[in-house]
Amino acid sequence: MKYMLIMQLNPAAFDALTEEQREAVMTGHEAFMDTIKASGEIVQTHALGMPADSAVVRVRDGVPVVTDGPFLEAKEFMGGYYIVDCATRERALELAAMIPDAAVDGLAIEVRPIVFTAWPAD
């Protein structure tokens, strides 16, 4: 079963870390990626840009209306994700706990099952 491991980011919490702690988080991601590559559980991963760099598109009366910035104002936002393919939900939770963000106050990993894929990833 495929799961999305969503890294929920709170910039204030991340900014409160020391330089050494931030480096440990980044190095921890490298080690986590090595682990899920070696186990064959990685499908893909992406880091996302900041919400301030996003745009929201709504179509009103057939006309696209574009608004700069995030869809919702929030302290936390989706900073990136891993998609993994593993045997059980328990394994997905185990993998999420290995992501270094899970050990930082103010950050979290959301584990969500993927229920539909329209086409295979390249």
Instruction: Name which residue leads in pLDDT, 67 or 91.
Output: 91
pLDDT at 2 over 90: yes
Domains of the chain: 2-113 (3.30.70.1060)
Q: What is the pLDDT of residue 81?
A: 95
| Residue range 28-84, pLDDT digits in tens | 999 999 999 999 999 999 999 888 888 889 999 999 999 887 666 666 788 899 999
* Per-residue pLDDT at 105: 86
C-alpha–C-alpha distance, residues 21 and 16, integer Å: 9
pLDDT given at position 117: 83
Largest CA distance in the chain: 52
> Does the pLDDT value for residue 122 go beyond 80?
no
Q: Dump pLDDT digits (tens) for 16-34.
A: 999 999 899 889 999 999 9
Interval 100-116: pLDDT, tens: 999 988 889 999 999 98
Cβ distance 107 to 15 under 8 Å?
no
Q: Which residues contact 102 (CB under 8 A, 6 or more apart)?
A: 96, 108, 109
